Homo-oligomer: A and B are copies of this chain.
Amino acid sequence: MVKRMRLLGFMFHSPMNHTILSWAHPESTQGTEFARPEFWQHIARTLERGRFDGLFLADTFSAYDVYRDSYEPTVRYGVVCPQHDPVVLIPVMALATRHLGFGTTMSTNAYHPYVLARTMATLDHLTGGRVGWNVVTGISRSEYRNLSMEDWLPHDERYDRADEYLDLCNQLWGSWEPDAVIADAERGIYADPAKVHRVNFRGRYFTSAGPLVTLPSPQGRPVIFQAGSSGRGRDFAVRHAEVVFSIQLHARAMRVYGDDLRSRAEQLGRDPNEIKITYGVQAFVGESEAQARELQQEMVERIPLDAALARLSSSLGFDFSTVPIDEPLEQIRTEASQGLVTALTTLYGGTMTVREAAVRWGASVGMPQVVGTPEQVADQLQALHEEGGGDGFNLTPTYTPGSFDMFVDTVVPILQARGQVRREYTARTFREQLLEE
């Protein structure tokens, strides 16, 4: 039996997504159109035409500024900057579609749980049950500096706070029983107060009396996405998430990650099959293999070194202007960089130079790239899926919106013919759509 491959688009509300300067590709309109609703409605319609499960929107609240302590290259090259609020895109795209789901990032540091719970429930109503929340608990130094959080909690304690945050949200979403609403106009009774409950939450970080002021929503609560990478982060993910999103460079690393996650789930007494894992991937599709490789090459060559180093420095929280960039990764030995460079070495191998690693990172942020004709791309995805043991992919586009159209029109029919992805939607909610086998 073929194991179903979930497909989600993977974007930022920004001129680019994961490839630096992709907005400058001749067929990309994202650089000038990303702030307009029409751009997003086109993307949503395309993904729905391809029977994707949903679109996943990442988010941060700052411009990358670790490299040389400056946001200069970030702004100059538009490196995920500007970055507009993704939450308000959801109604825009929902109005252009009927089945596509929308998972958006909202940081537990930027919103009070009551505010977030209300916004998510509202969106679940407006979309008819098609909303997901990507729980982000960490925050970068540049985000601290924008959000009045200069004295912030240590890493592990942030997860303790996030555990409490989720507990409170869940209680708020449960504060109206599903059948509390009566809406009997003749008797003039709107709801049964006996079925609406205070939560009286008194935690270490938050208090909230409740009840939430939103009606029980189609899904009850949004689909919970999470992307924990540290040990504590993975424990948080298996405690709360329905879908875990991860970036792993190849099938072997996916297998290692998935095995670890599933064993953590078991240790916590949770059925590992309840948690679906999707991996980030980028596809370059051409009419010929040569054309696809040319596109891939062209996108990489466009990446300015400064922009790549700026992004890598912020991703890893280490200023790479302080080390010689033409030395192999394994030669870089500074106290501050030790762990980070080890991580890069694991990713790319020790003989790669910092310069090369930065450009690789600037192209796909550690995601594997699948390249070739539609048939070859389908083969490579299928191999990653089977060997990696995941449940599907978050597909980041190259040029936009065209590369999504290309993928949907040429690769999806092949995956459909193989029974790997759906031909028609049947689920009633985003959760059902993601969890169905």
Contact = CB atoms under 8 A, between A and B. Distances in A.
A118 B185 CA distance: 40
Number of identical monomers bound together in the oligomeric complex:
2
Contact of A84 (B25, B73, B118, B302): B118
Interface in A70-86: 71-73, 75-78, 81-85
Contact of A125 (B25, B35, B211): B35
Given A62-B213, A76-B189, A84-B125, 13 more contacts: A24-B186, A31-B183, A35-B122, A37-B95, A61-B213, A63-B213, A75-B180, A75-B196, A85-B118, A88-B119, A92-B95, A148-B206, A148-B208
A15 interface: yes
Given A115-B61, A121-B84, A76 B37 contact: no
A267 interface: no
A287 to B, nearest CB: 23
A315 interface: no
Given A75-B193, A206-B148, A92 B126 contact: yes
A24 B206 CA distance: 37
A91 B37 contact: yes
A188 interface: yes
A114 interface: yes
21 contacts: A15-B190, A24-B186, A35-B126, A37-B94, A61-B114, A61-B213, A71-B211, A75-B180, A75-B211, A76-B189, A76-B190, A78-B183, A82-B213, A83-B214, A88-B123, A89-B126, A91-B91, A92-B95, A145-B209, A148-B205, A188-B304
Contacts of A180: 75
B214 A82 contact: yes
Contact of A85 (B23, B62, B122, B142): B122
B23 A114 contact: no
A274 interface: no
Interface in A2-37: 13, 15, 21, 23-26, 28, 31-32, 35-37
A155 to B, nearest CB: 21
Interface in A319-350: none
Interface residues of A, number: 78
Interface in A55-75: 60-63, 71-73, 75
A185 B26 contact: yes
A210 interface: yes
Given A122-B84, A208-B147, A302 B193 contact: no
Interface string A183-209: 101101111110010000000011111
Contact of A146 (B95, B114, B190): B114
A137 to B, nearest CB: 16
A87 interface: yes
A435 interface: no
A414 interface: no
B88 A88 contact: yes
A190 B304 CA distance: 12
Contact of A145 (B71, B183, B208): B208
User: Which has the most chain B C-beta neighbours within 10 Å: A72, A83, A85, A185?
Assistant: A85
A148 B126 CA distance: 27
A82 B215 contact: yes
Given A31-B190, A122-B88, A190-B31, A24 B185 contact: yes
